[in-house]
Amino acid sequence: MKTLDRTKLAVLIIGTLTTVVSLIGVAIDLNLTNYFFPLYAGLTLVGVSLLHNDATKEGKSDNLVIEK
């Protein structure tokens, strides 16, 4: 569990840094097309790290019915 928390924190930091650098680049160049992919990637990383659900459903395999 500790490793997952560190991984989520690392992804959040990388995503935030990428988003901030992209927004600064857009503000300086006034051109979104050069910075669209890094901005998209950064926002995706931030969203994934914030919306990731740690709960797993252990009972999911119990509902499986195999008929012969």
Is 12 contained in some domain? yes
Q: What is the pLDDT along the chain (68 residues), one digit of tens a residue?
A: 677 788 899 999 999 999 999 999 999 999 989 999 999 999 999 999 998 876 655 555 555 666 76
When divided into structural domains, the chain yields a total of 1
pLDDT of amino acid 47: 93
**Threshold 0.85, pTM exceeds:** no
**How far, in Å, are 29, 43, 47, 61, 63 from residue 50 at the CA level?**
30, 11, 5, 27, 30
Q: Which domain covers residue 9, as residue numbers? A: 2-51
Is 10 contained in some domain? yes
Is 67 contained in some domain? no
Is 66 contained in some domain? no
Is 65 contained in some domain? no
Is 44 contained in some domain? yes
**How far, in Å, are 4, 48, 62 from residue 59 at the CA level?**
22, 25, 5
